[in-house]
Amino acid sequence: MIAYLEAKRAGLFKKPHWANNLLAGIIVGIVALPLAMAFAIASGAKPEQGIYTAIVAGGISSLLGGSRLQISGPTGAFIVILAGITAEYGIAGLQMATLMAGFILLMMGLVRFGAVIKYIPDPVIVGFTSGIAIIIWVGQWKDFFGLNPTLGAAHFHEKVWDLIVAFPSVHLQTTLLALLTLLIVIYSPRVFKRIPSPLIAMVVVTAIQASFNFKGVATIGSAFGGIPQSLPEFEFLPIRFSQVLQLIGPAFTIALLGAIESLLSAVVADSMTNTKHDSNQELIGQGVANIFSPLFGGFASTGAIARTATNIRNGATGPLAGIVHTITLVFIVLVFAPLAAHIPLCTLSAILFIVAYNMSEMHRFSHMVRTAPKADVVVLIITFLLTILTDLVLAVNIGVMLAALLFMKRMSEAVSIKQQSIEELIQETGNKSLILPDNVAIFTMEGPFFFGVTERLMIALETAHTHADILVLRMENVPIIDATGLQTFWDLMKKCERNHTRLILCQVRPNILEKMERAGIAQKMGEENIIRHIHMLNVPV
């Protein structure tokens, strides 16, 4: 359900809801301001482009998304990916990749791909988010300490080494301002409970820098020339086929990460408010948001967990708060943009230090390492290390692949294939007069019959039916079968035919029987060899 329509139907735009949503929207708009600028700079874009992203994408997703309380905009999770795209293809390439990602997200929602995204395992999600947090943290050392490292290092460990080598050039005033920002962000909520701590820190440290004008302290003005006191104009992106081909990979990466982050944020909103989002509509809303964001000078956007939580904690009940958040940012740009030139970059870096710490989920990571099964811990560590040492795409792909293989292994181990004795059969049926000849072997199978268990079935039956004239396979507790399972039955029938063994299937579920009929197995076996219940077993003694 579209967030706007659902909220309107629920009466959330009526007067009793105005006050809470206006307050929540203003607060979350103020919170979004420093974050949007910080994420933009860290992604290789201009600070105003982060604000434009929050304005355009935040407003669209609030209206068209599947979660009525979601706040969207640039996020920390995107920094690693977007910075790499900007470095290789420039800001124009980043905007084109965002546009393409928007259409991919739109298609994901239209083909109802939202539910599939939910099945990415926790070890993979925690692994790559923690890895991204480390990269963000290290990436902010330069501006936090005022360093001048050697540029051009391609790999994470090389960048770390270059930063360490550059530490003797630490700029004292920059570092002190960054530390002051850090302290204010951490401790000001104890005093000012309703005022966002990043805003307090930014205002205080910016005022100090504007008053004393410390030499060597980089600011938005010195680095970017300030922020324009105007809104961006709509502009079509020049589309070149060769560029589109180059950006298919990055676009899919943005779309995948955007889908994961927005749906995780929507789940958090549901848990805080006891609501239920529409995952497919959320992908559609995020898709439209990412299509229009680059057309107004912005870049990639997704649901922001921290801003969504802030929105809810301050009393938001519907998308009106998201709309007010957008209007608040527009007002700030039109009225206060000239003042942004004095904001020190080290202040934004300090804010990103806090973002990286919160994003790292350090406690969840350590708890999973201590308590999760060893195989899951291996997936967690591999995803984490690959995110840091290689790239996010490889990390997520390998993490999901390992988790899928691990799941299939566990599923195959959960499948039970055991032979039944005549005594067990008599006890189950209650038929004490039941007599079966010695040349009958009865097996009971429980669990999904897929490619991961076919070998186990063949091994289990190998010895039994070598000397059996009749082989009965009970399948009452087999819920599904795949193509490999069907092929296994063809192989089993051929083997039974060679050994002159009669194969009988018992208690086959209708959905399984339908697939067997389509595959020609049922016709090949004959109706007399597919029985509804073990009571119907009639073999000569």
Examine the pLDDT at 538 and tell me if it is beyond 70. no
DSSP string, 509-532: -HHHHHHHHHHTHHHHH-GGGEES
> Which residues are CB-contacts of 539 (< 8 A; sequence separation ≥ 6)?
436, 437, 440, 470
Give the mean pLDDT of the chain.
Answer: 90
Q: What is the pLDDT of residue 466?
A: 52
Place 541 in a pLDDT band, splitting at 50, 70 and 90. Answer: very low
**Residues 438-447, mean pLDDT to the nearest whole number:** 84
User: Strand 302-303 and strand 470-477: pairing?
Assistant: unpaired
Residue 306, classed as helix, strand or coil, is: helix
Q: Which residues pair with 274 in a beta bridge?
A: none
Q: What is the pLDDT of residues 339-351, one digit of tens each?
A: 999 999 999 999 9
Residue 383, classed as helix, strand or coil, is: helix
Cβ pair 65, 281 in contact under 8 A: yes
**Residues 317-345, mean pLDDT to the nearest whole number:** 95
**Residues 126-145, mean pLDDT to the nearest whole number:** 94
**Residues 485-506, mean pLDDT to the nearest whole number:** 87
Cβ pair 205, 181 in contact under 8 A: yes
Q: What is the distance between the alpha carbons of residues 136 and 360, in angstroms, rounded to a whole number?
A: 10
Examine the pLDDT at 465 and tell me if it is beyond 60. no
Highest mean pLDDT among 15-19, 107-111, 146-150, 426-430: 107-111
Residue 72, classed as helix, strand or coil, is: strand
Q: What is the pLDDT of residue 117?
A: 74
Examine the pLDDT at 539 and tell me if it is beyond 60. no
Q: What is the pLDDT of residues 67-118, one digit of tens each?
A: 999 999 999 989 989 999 999 999 999 999 999 999 999 999 999 998 877 7
* Residues composing the chain: 541
Place 450 in a pLDDT band, splitting at 50, 70 and 90. Answer: confident
Sheet containing 470-477: which strands, arranged edge to edge?
416-420, 440-446, 470-477, 502-506, 530-531
**H or E segment and range at residue 337:** none
List Cα–Cα distances, 510 to 37, 109, 154, 280, 287, in angstroms: 59, 32, 57, 31, 40
Q: What is the pLDDT of residue 489?
A: 86
Examine the pLDDT at 417 and tell me if it is beyond 90. no
Cα angle for residues 425, 428, 434 (degrees, 5° grid): 45
Place 434 in a pLDDT band, splitting at 50, 70 and 90. Answer: low
Cβ pair 57, 71 in contact under 8 A: no
> Which residues are CB-contacts of 90 (< 8 A; sequence separation ≥ 6)?
none
CA dihedral 102, 312, 80, 124 (to 10 degrees): -90
Q: What percent of the chain has pLDDT over 70?
A: 96
Examine the pLDDT at 249 and tell me if it is beyond 70. yes
- Structure pTM? 0.83
For the ranges 181-185, 333-337, 417-421, 487-491, which has the lowest average pLDDT? 417-421
